[in-house]
Amino acid sequence: MAPSSDYKEFTDSLALAKRVVVLAGAGLSAGSGIPTYRGVGGLWKKQDPKKLATLDAFKRDPSLVWQFYHYRRELCLRAQPNAAHRALAELSIRDTRNRIMPSLTSTEPPLFITQNFDSLSPRALNDLADQLTSDEMKTVQNRLIEMHGSAFRTVCTQCKHVNFTYDSPLSPALADTSEVSFETPRDIPIDQLPRCGGPEWKGSNRYAKCGGLLRPAVVWFGEVPEGLGEISKELNWTDLLIVVGTSSLVYPAAGFSKTVRERGGKVAVFNLEPSADDTCDFMFLGPCEETLPKALGCNCAPSIHTTAIEQIS
């Protein structure tokens, strides 16, 4: 039986759902100008992920990998949350949940799992800070799992210190890296790449200022995604999984829909094109910044807080 594309039928199912989980992929941010990986013109159709997104690649050529991630990081810095980000963020508001998901058994917002490292979903949540108490905001932030890490976190390969910053560039040598120069990358010496303690490091060996080479705190191929324990626990009770903007090809996330269905739950897919997950209950094709707000009954006007990245750095 073909999946339904009836919005009324979906909203009826959403209203009856007792436990809801959202899984987002690269298509969620496509409307913000960030290229996807496997869609039309996708990043991995032009570049070899084995040379850019593995630990072995980083060990072999940290200069190349850092130039690639600096360019991606700059795209994320310039991007703004779109209507789909804002629609999902509004699920953090209790009145919104009571209106569209009155059967939820928990007072917490749905678990939001994103495979994106662009920080647009956390930024969309931050835009609602004046509508949430400090305790509600903490709960919302705890219910967001960036399972592939963040472009704005780094981890020291030596002392293992983790840092979060919107500062750019992370080292002067990366300042001129662009998509054009990435095609003919420069050979940047290791001591000019991002290091623990920053560009001004003066020889200290202290924790968080040890001078070690930093790596992007993103999850590369072959590494274990973040939050899998909490995700597995939540999926045991999920009766509606909302999948937004993902090809459903990369595991373990690609298996979440099967897990929910096997336990009797329903799956709704919002994607630009049909995904590998063709046994879902609902499928809404088109830009998710158009289909998702419609399905959730959200106008999602641009927030007055969502302007330049400097305002939240």
CA–CA distance, 254 with 251 (Å, rounded to integer): 5
Give the sign of the dihedral formed by CA 129, CA 132, CA 133, CA 137.
Answer: negative
Binding residues, by number, are: 156, 159, 196, 210
Nearest Cα residue to 217 out of 208, 228, 226: 226
148 is catalytic: yes
Catalytic residue among 70, 148, 161, 305: 148
Nearest Cα residue to 225 out of 114, 116, 148, 119: 148
CA–CA distance, 22 with 222 (Å, rounded to integer): 24
Query: Contact, 38 vs 31, CB < 8 A?
Result: no
Binding residues for Zn(2+), by number, are: 156, 159, 196, 210
Query: Contact, 256 vs 270, CB < 8 A?
Result: no
Q: Where are the beta strands (DSSP E) in the chain?
A: 20-24, 111-114, 144-146, 149-156, 162-164, 214-218, 240-244, 266-271, 282-285
Query: Contact, 43 vs 30, CB < 8 A?
Result: no
Q: Which two tokens stand for residue 269?
A: 């897919």
Q: Which residues contact 195 (CB under 8 A, 6 or more apart)?
A: 171, 201, 211, 212, 213, 214
- Active-site amino acid positions: 148
